[in-house]
Structures are given as structure tokens and as C-alpha cells.
């Protein structure tokens, strides 16, 4: 691999000149034939595919996407989040002439930006890279007049209409609000794990598995995600160690059986990771036996963390209801408990968590918002629905 770019500089991708950093130091971008860049987990972690649909020309009059505070800050539909749910909501709202604003986050595109190939999104029989798919969503939303701002919100005020959200000191308002902030992977939160993220530590087997061909690696977790990732990674790795802190699994029986039946996977129960060993890349794990306290070193070159997800709801604390797992609660259809505030996608869904279900949710939320705006006398509905 050849170093061509300052790893601190981030990566240019289908979103234009956006700087992407999914947390921790990014690795070393290397050129790819696709014209984008990929990041090697021995010094990096994600694949960014450039060009393509995001370069599509907006229709005349459609505002461009922006990473600054330029452009409108008041809208009929304010959308927070830019994964499949948020951008589908934007496509629907924009086509209904509601001029939505999307506050897309500083790492826009959601979890699909961490996925190398999506084979189950309808319409792409050959599969499509996650970043490219999200670039297409974004181009489609922008084409119909969505104003997209790549900022994280700091706080919201949902006490009255218009609803308000602040990002980098700028106040954005929406006569209605669609929350589609998604969920993020959980980490062990070891100093060594965070330091070596993108340098052999990853939370995305589908993004980074390829880089571990013929290497010995480990997966941590005892749920379906860990089992699924461990099995997937045997396509590349010479051996996969699955480490779980207890001897009982949360995973389904079929996944447990598949894992134990895979000759390339060795399961270690009662095994907690104390430390990821390595200065600039992963060299080993210090693994503690949770029953005896004994610590041993396990030589591996990669660690995949698959210990679940956390919905991105912190900023809505006190305003909206959450369930026992911390996910937002939608009542009838996509309604939150506050009239005019709608919820879509993984931020309220720990069951399906699919791009296509999130996109469907986004469409539902936009139609619900449109109908609600009409009921409040703010806008006439445009999207034909049967009710």
C-alpha cells in the first residue's frame, strides 16, 4: 500500500469535499480504481467510494448541499439525520414542495457509510457500496430542493412550534421535525482499543474483513452480530477467535450452532479483553478469564468489536420517550408524543435495523409530517395517499 495522503486529512467521497471521521484516527487512504479511496485497517478502516450519483446535477433552482451555515435555516420540515430514513424523508418532503432542511451530522450518511457492499437493497441486483448508495440518496434529496447541512446538533427545544435545533451556534427551525438520528456501534472503551481504531480495531466486518486475508483475528461479543461477523470473517481470516465475557450467549441457537460448527472459529467463553496490545497496529490481546482472573496473551492481528448498538438519542433526553433499551418510542405510525415531531429509522428500531426498512420509515414520517402540516393549516398536502 502506498501512502498518498495525510491520514488526518480525512477522505473526499461521494458527498463532495466532506471530511469524514467516524471517530478515532483514520488510516492511510490509498487510491482505488473506482476513483475513491480506501482505508487500510492496518492503518485505517473504511472504504469510501467517490464519484457516481452524488455528482448528478441538481434540477434548476435546487439548493446545493453545504457544510456551512449558509442558506436557509427555517423550514416546514426539519430533518435530523442523513441515513436512509432521514434522506428518504427529505426526498418525499422535497417532492411535496416542503423545502426540507436536513441537519446531516458531521459524519453524514449513517451506518451504511461503514458498509462495503449491500446486497439486499432492492434495485441493485449486483449489490452496491454503502457510501455510493448514500451518495445517491443524497443526490436525489438535493435534486428536489433539500437543503443539507453537515453539522451535528448540540441541543433542541421542542416546547413549541416551530421546533428548534442548534448546531455550531446556528438556530434551525422546523414547523415539523423528523428525527432520524440512527444508532452507533458500541465500543469496549479501552484506551488501547480507541487508540488502535482504524489500525486493526474495527466495528465493521463487512468494511474491513477483506484486509485480514490469511490473518488470525478476534471478534468480541456474544450476540447475533458477533456470531454473524465471526462467520463472515472466516471468508478472509485464517482463524477467528470469538471472545465472550460469559458462558451464556444472547445469540440465537441457529447462530450459535453455525459458529460452533465453523472449523475456522474458536470460541472462548468467560473471556474479557483487558487490553489491545500494539503501538501502531494490533499485535495481540490481553485476555482475562472472568472466573479465575488469570490473564493471558492471544496473538492476533485484528479485533472486531460487535457488542451491540446505541441509539443516538442523547440530545432528545427529557423531550421524548425512550423504551427500556433507550430507543425512541413512536406511537401511532411515526408520531412521537409531541404533535408535529416524527421518528423514523434505527433510532426507534432495534428489531429490523435494515436500510430498506429505515427508508420506508422515512417515507412514512414525511407523509405523516405533510398531513400534519396540512391539518395545522401550514401547507397543503401534495403526496397522494389513500386516506
Residue 95: CB minimum distance to ligand NAP, A: 32
Q: Write out the binding residues for ligand NAP, residues 314-373 only, by CB under 6 A.
A: 350
**Residue 268 binds ligand NAP (CB under 6 A):** no
**Residue 223 binds ligand NAP (CB under 6 A):** yes
CA gap 184, 204 in Å, rounded: 11
**Residue 202 binds ligand NAP (CB under 6 A):** no
Give the number of other Cβ atoms within 10 Å of residue 114's Cβ.
22
For 342, phi then psi, to 5°, come to -120, 155
- Provide long-range contacts, Cβ within 8 A and 24+ apart, for 185-191: 185/111, 185/305, 185/308, 185/309, 186/305, 186/307, 186/308, 186/309, 186/310, 187/305, 187/307, 188/220, 188/273, 188/305, 188/307, 190/273, 190/274, 190/275, 190/276
Residue 227: CB minimum distance to ligand NAP, A: 8
CA gap 350, 325 in Å, rounded: 9
**Could you give the C-alpha distances from 157 to 77, 148, 178, 362, in angstroms and in order?**
15, 20, 14, 22
Candidates 222, 302, 311, 340: give the one binding ligand NAP (CB under 6 A). Answer: 222
Task: Check 129, 150, 207, 346 and give the catalytic one.
Answer: 207
Task: Check 21, 55, 154, 204 and give the catalytic one.
Answer: 204
The residue count for binding ligand NAP (CB under 6 A) is: 16
224 or 266: CB nearest ligand NAP: 224
Residue 231: CB minimum distance to ligand NAP, A: 10
Coil/strand/helix, residue 219: strand
Residue 63: CB minimum distance to ligand NAP, A: 37
Listed ranges 149-157, 195-203, 224-232, 367-375: which one lies at the site for ligand NAP (CB under 6 A): 224-232
Coil/strand/helix, residue 134: helix
**Residue 245 binds ligand NAP (CB under 6 A):** yes
CA 170 to chain CA centroid, nearest Å: 24
| Contact (Cβ atoms closer than 8 angstroms) between residue 242 and residue 265 | yes
Q: What is the CA radius of gyration of the chain?
A: 22
Candidates 63, 308, 326, 360: give the one binding ligand NAP (CB under 6 A). Answer: 308
**Residue 246 binds ligand NAP (CB under 6 A):** yes
| Contact (Cβ atoms closer than 8 angstroms) between residue 197 and residue 45 | yes
Residue 324: CB minimum distance to ligand NAP, A: 12
Listed ranges 64-72, 151-159, 220-228, 358-366: which one lies at the site for ligand NAP (CB under 6 A): 220-228
Residue 168: CB minimum distance to ligand NAP, A: 32
Q: Write out the binding residues for ligand NAP, residues 19-78 only, by CB under 6 A.
A: none
Can 208 be counted among the known catalytic residues?
yes
Where b means 16+ CB within 10 Å and e means fewer, 329-362 reads: ebeeebbbebebbbbbbbbbbeeeebbebbbbbb
Can 289 be counted among the known catalytic residues?
no
Residue 224: CB minimum distance to ligand NAP, A: 4
CA gap 191, 217 in Å, rounded: 19
Can 204 be counted among the known catalytic residues?
yes
Q: Write out the binding residues for ligand NAP, residues 160-199 only, by CB under 6 A.
A: 188
Cell numbers linked to 256: 450459535
In this chain, which residue has its C-beta nearest to ligand NAP?
A: 223
Task: Check 208, 346, 349, 361 and give the catalytic one.
Answer: 208
Q: Which residues of this chain interact with ligand NAP, rule CB under 6 A? A: 188, 220-226, 228, 245-246, 250, 307-309, 350
Residues belonging to the active site? 204, 207-208
Amino acid at each position: 500500500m502506498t501512502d498518498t495522503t495525510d491520514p488526518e486529512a480525512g477522505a473526499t467521497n461521494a458527498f463532495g469535499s466532506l471530511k469524514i471521521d467516524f471517530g478515532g484516527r483514520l488510516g492511510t487512504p490509498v487510491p482505488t480504481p473506482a476513483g475513491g479511496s480506501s482505508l487500510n485497517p492496518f492503518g485505517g478502516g473504511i472504504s469510501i467510494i467517490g464519484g457516481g450519483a452524488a455528482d448528478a446535477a441538481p434540477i434548476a433552482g435546487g439548493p446545493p448541499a453545504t457544510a456551512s451555515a449558509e442558506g436557509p435555516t427555517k423550514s416546514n420540515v426539519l430533518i435530523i439525520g442523513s441515513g436512509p430514513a432521514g434522506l428518504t424523508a427529505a426526498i418525499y418532503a422535497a417532492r411535496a414542495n416542503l423545502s426540507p432542511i436536513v441537519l446531516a451530522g458531521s459524519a453524514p450518511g449513517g451506518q451504511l457509510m461503514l458498509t462495503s457492499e449491500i446486497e439486499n437493497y432492492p434495485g441493485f441486483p449486483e449489490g452496491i457500496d454503502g457510501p455510493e448508495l448514500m451518495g445517491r440518496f443524497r443526490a436525489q434529496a438535493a435534486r428536489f430542493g433539500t437543503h443539507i447541512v453537515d453539522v451535528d446538533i448540540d441541543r433542541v427545544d421542542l416546547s413549541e412550534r416551530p421546533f428548534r435545533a442548534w448546531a455550531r451556534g446556528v438556530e434551525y427551525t422546523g414547523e415539523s421535525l423528523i428525527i432520524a438520528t440512527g444508532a452507533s456501534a458500541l465500543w469496549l472503551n479501552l484506551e488501547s482499543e480507541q487508540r488502535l481504531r482504524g489500525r486493526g480495531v474495527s466495528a465493521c466486518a463487512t468494511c474491513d474483513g477483506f484486509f485480514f486475508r490469511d490473518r488470525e483475528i478476534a471478534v468480541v461479543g456474544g450476540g447475533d452480530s458477533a456470531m454473524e461477523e465471526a462467520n463472515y470473517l472466516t471468508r478472509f481470516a485464517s482463524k477467528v477467535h470469538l471472545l465472550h465475557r460469559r458462558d451464556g450467549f444472547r445469540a440465537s441457537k441457529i447462530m450459535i450452532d453455525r459458529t460452533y460448527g465453523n472449523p475456522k472459529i474458536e470460541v472462548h467463553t468467560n473471556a474479557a479483553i483487558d487490553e489491545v496490545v500494539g503501538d501502531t497496529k494490533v499485535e495481540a490481546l490481553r485476555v482475562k478469564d472472568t472466573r479465575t482472573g488469570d490473564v493471558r496473551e492471544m496473538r492476533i492481528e485484528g479485533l472486531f468489536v460487535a457488542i451491540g448498538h446505541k441509539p443516538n438519542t442523547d440530545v432528545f433526553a427529557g423531550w421524548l420517550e425512550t423504551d427500556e433499551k433507550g430507543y425512541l418510542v413512536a406511537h401511532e405510525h411515526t408520531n412521537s408524543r409531541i404533535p408535529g415531531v416524527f421518528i423514523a429509522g434505527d433510532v426507534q428500531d432495534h428489531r429490523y435495523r435494515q436500510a430498506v426498512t429505515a427508508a420506508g420509515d422515512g417515507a412514512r414520517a414525511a407523509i405523516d409530517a405533510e398531513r400534519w402540516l396540512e391539518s395545522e393549516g401550514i401547507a397543503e398536502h401534495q403526496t397522494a395517499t389513500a386516506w
